[in-house]
Amino acid sequence: MTTFLMISYLIGVGVLSLPSAFVSLGWVPGVLLLTGIVFITTVTGLYMWKLHLKYPHIRNYAAMYYHFFGRVGQVIGGTLTYLMFFGIMTADFLTAALSWKSLFQGHHVCVTVWFVIPFFVALVIGQLRSLHGISWVAFVGALCIFLPIVMTCSKVPELSKGAHAYTTIAGNSFVNGVVAMTDIVFAFAGHLIFYEFMAEMKNVHDFPKALLVSQMVGYVFCMFTAAFVYVYLGNTPILKSPVTLSLPHDTLRDAINVILIIHVTAPSVMGGNVLTRAVQRWLQCWGRRRFEDTSLPQRVSFFFWSLLVYGAGFLVASAIPFFNELIGLLAALVGSSNSVGMPAIMYLIRFHKRTSWWNWILALSCICIGYALLGIGSYAGVYTIIQAVGDHGTPFSCDRVI
């Protein structure tokens, strides 16, 4: 079940943007970058597992920050981590709302109205208070990302007729290449939730199995989608990001939108569950707060805090027109650190006396790459926000676009 949680959280709708990333990067940088990122994030995931075995009482990233860097580290690192959880949850609300809008394109319903549906769905399913309970939702969510990939790719050869597609060895635009690189990097930057996964596993020694399976499944589907679509639609005006926008408005595209709506429910509920627990832990001053407590007062209090969390996501997604671009900047600041750089730093601090020379080199490489990605990704995030301002409508507007 941990495998399905990982797959559903890691392999999101971002995979459908990877063909456009290959257009900007070209074959060699695209393949090397995707392969390298999968390898590095697998290594840092194993570092986090080693740390959890040493400190099994630590159940989240904020607590791990506190252990290594004290109160200041917990406040800074924990705040950024939970902001990232909130950003991913809210971005999933936005994806679902825009998919609903696409389904009923001719009905002129304000997109803010469509935000109400994912909000209520997440609120109801979010009453599953453990990640094990949510793992059954993740199982469905995992299937609902694979199906759109297969359905979209089945239509691509037909779309390519007369398109005069071509591929390149390498891209020729630095800015576009940097933006594309961040799409690939953050497709595998889901480590911020790994400690919560490990804390609920019956046997945490099985975590590497779940990690390796989810990483390899993600790699295969990401590489297949990017390469297949790139071959057929590369460097043509037909190719859009995500690639589902390249499809004509017909029954197939509507079916894909419905399946994507189901998929984004799982990661939004996972993030909402973690956030609700954190808010409840910080603010609730009465009664027991463990999700094993199924008494009515605890269920009512959990509902109240989850209503607060999901309601805040609804308001933010509706109020910020360029939220997808904003979450890209947040992912650069948090994802590259929490998924690549920080696990290696913590690993070396704890195990530096027992670490072999080659593991030292590997860990130091992860640190350098992680914080280089932070700088480059921040540049790309600011650039895309500047480009997006004015193109997405006004707060709570009815003409939001992707």
pLDDT at 381 over 90: no
Specify the pLDDT at position 99.
84
- 158-167, 280-289, 337-346: which has the minimum mean pLDDT? 280-289
Cβ neighbour number for residue 189 with a 10 Å cutoff: 25
pLDDT at 47 over 80: yes
Q: How far apart are CA 63 and CA 57, in angstroms?
A: 9
Q: Which residues contact 149 (CB under 8 A, 6 or more apart)?
A: 15, 16, 221, 224, 225
On the CB side of 357, CA atoms within 13 Å amount to 0
Q: What is the DSSP string of 166-186?
A: ---SS-S-HHHHHHHHHHHHG
Question: Average pLDDT of 233-252?
Answer: 86
pLDDT at 100 over 70: yes
Q: How far apart are CA 233 and CA 401, in angstroms?
A: 23
Q: What is the DSSP string of 231-287?
A: HHHTTSTT--SSGGGGS-SSHHHHHHHHHHHHHHHHHHHHHHHHHHHHHHHHH--SS
pLDDT at 41 over 70: yes
Specify the pLDDT at position 344.
95
Residue 286: pLDDT band (50, 70, 90) is low
- 105-109, 114-118, 274-278: which has the minimum mean pLDDT? 105-109
pLDDT at 111 over 80: no
Question: Average pLDDT of 158-170?
Answer: 88
Specify the pLDDT at position 351.
94
pLDDT above 70 covers a percentage of the chain that reads: 91
What is the per-residue pLDDT across 53-88, written as a single tens digit (0 to 9) for each? Answer: 999 999 999 999 999 999 999 999 999 899 888 888
Specify the pLDDT at position 390.
58
pLDDT at 262 over 60: yes
Q: Examine residue 267 and say whether the peptide bond preceding it is cis (omega within 30 degrees of 0).
A: no
pLDDT at 295 over 90: no
pLDDT at 253 over 90: no
Specify the pLDDT at position 120.
92
Chain centroid to CA 80: 15
pLDDT at 28 over 70: yes
Specify the pLDDT at position 378.
81
What is the per-residue pLDDT across 120-157, written as a single tens digit (0 to 9) for each? Answer: 999 999 998 888 889 889 999 888 888 988 999 999 99
Q: How far apart are CA 268 and CA 97, in angstroms?
A: 13
pLDDT above 90 covers a percentage of the chain that reads: 38
What is the per-residue pLDDT across 304-313, written as a single tens digit (0 to 9) for each? Answer: 999 999 999 8
